[in-house]
Amino acid sequence: ILLSLPRLIETERCLGKPGMTRDDLFNINAGIVRDLITGVAETCPKAFILVISNPVNSTVPIAAEVMKKAGVFDPKRLFGVTTLDVVRAETFVQDITGEKDPSKTVIPVIGGHSGETIVPLFSQAKPAVKIPTDKLGPLVKRKPHGVVAEGFKLSRQ
């Protein structure tokens, strides 16, 4: 199935479960990414690879090292996907502003994909948003699994 694929979105992964630490998640997903990317390196080394296994900021380097070891690494073909952080930031701001259309708010997010390294750039929102001072503190409160705000609950499946 991997033969001559122009792109591959890596989706085989363990999702976080209640009680799991980021280390637990990494230990499981690291092996999955390593094995899958080994297959990619052997059968379709020119594929564009999008890694979504958490923690993304740790699994992408594993994919890179596997590709390097196989002699087929191309940094222009390997990507880490952290869309969840963007969606969370945009959802929390929309809950404050009352916007109902998800396409109407864009919040850039930079940094890593874990805890304190996730940095939503609320000041760069498109369109510009006015976040009341009393809402800003809770909005930027950090948790290990992403940007969360007091009073908002994320369900994990």
125 touches 105 (CB < 8 A):
yes
Helix (H) or strand (E) holding 112: none
Helix (H, G, I), strand (E, B) or coil at 132: coil
Which residues form the catalytic set?
113
* CA torsion, ordered 50, 8, 10, 144, to nearest 10 deg: 10
- E strand or H helix that includes residue 63: helix 56-69
Burial class (CB in 10 A: 0-12, 13-18, 19+), 128: exposed
